[in-house]
Chain A
Amino acid sequence: MSDTTERVKKVAAETLKVDLSMVKDDSRFVEDLGAESIQSVELVAAFEEEFDIEMDEQGALGVKDVGSAVVFIEKHL
Chain B
Amino acid sequence: MSENKTYSRLTDQQVEQLKSQGCRAQDWSAVTVAQGFDAGRVRDAQFEGEVKIGSLAGTVASASGLDRPCGIEEATLINCTLGDGVRVANVGSHIANYAIGDGVCIEDVGVVQTNAGAMFGNGSEIEVLNEGGGREVSLFNGMSSQFAHLLCMHRYRPKLIEKLEAFAKSQADSVKSDTGVIGAGVKISAVARIIDVNIGEAATVWGASALVNGTILSSGDAPTLIGDGVQAHDFIIGEASKITQGAIVAKTFVGQGCQVGKQFSAEGSLFFANCEAFHGEACSIFAGPYTVTHHKSTLLIAGLFSFYNAGSGTNQSNHMYKLGPVHEGKMERGCKTGSFSYMMWPCRVGPFSVVLGKHTRSFDLSDFPFSHIEAAHDGRCMVVPGLNLSTVGTVRDGAKWPTRDRRKGKVLRDRISFDVFSPLTVGRMIAGSDRLQELKDNTEKSIDIVTISGAQVKRVLLRGGIKYYRSGIHTYLLDKVVSRIEGAVEQGGGGLSQALAASPDAVYSEKWVDIGGQMMPAKRLEDLYAAVESGKIAGLETFELALDAIHDAYAEDEWAWVRHAYKKIFGTDLDTITASDSESIAEQLLAVQGKFLSLILIDAGKEFDETTQTGFAQDGSDADRAADFKAVRGEFDTNKFIKQMRQAIEDLNTRIEKLKQALAVCA
Contact = CB atoms under 8 A, between A and B. Distances in A.
Interface of A: 15, 30-31, 37-38, 41-42, 44-46, 48-49, 54, 56-58, 61-62
A54 B422 CA distance: 27
B463 A48 contact: yes
A49 B445 contact: yes
A69 B445 CA distance: 22
A61 B598 CA distance: 11
B461 A41 contact: yes
Interface in B435-482: 445, 458, 460-461, 463-464, 467
B376 to A, nearest CB: 12
Chain B interface mostly: helix
Nearest to B468: A57
Nearest to A47: B460
B602 A41 contact: no
A58 B598 contact: yes
A61 B599 contact: yes
B611 A62 contact: no
B135 interface: no
5 contacts: A38-B384, A41-B384, A42-B461, A48-B460, A61-B599
Contacts of A62: 602
A15 to B, nearest CB: 8
B602 A42 contact: no
Given A15-B460, A42-B458, 5 more contacts: A31-B611, A38-B374, A41-B464, A56-B595, A57-B599
B599 A38 contact: no
B595 A58 contact: yes
A57 B595 contact: yes
Most buried by A among B599, B602, B611: B602
Contacts of B598: 58
A15 B374 CA distance: 17
B388 to A, nearest CB: 11
B184 to A, nearest CB: 56
A50 B372 CA distance: 24
Contacts of A41: 384, 387, 461, 464
A61 B463 contact: no
Nearest to A15: B460
A64 to B, nearest CB: 10
Contacts of B461: 41-42, 45
B460 A45 contact: yes
A57 B467 contact: yes
Nearest to B471: A57
A70 to B, nearest CB: 19
A44 B458 CA distance: 13
Contacts of B463: 45, 48-49
A30 B611 contact: yes
B372 A58 contact: no
Given A30-B611, A38-B384, A46 B602 contact: no
Nearest to A64: B609
Contacts of B445: 49
Contacts of A15: 460
Contacts of A54: 467
A47 to B, nearest CB: 9
Interface string B581-623: 0000000000000010011001000100001000000000000
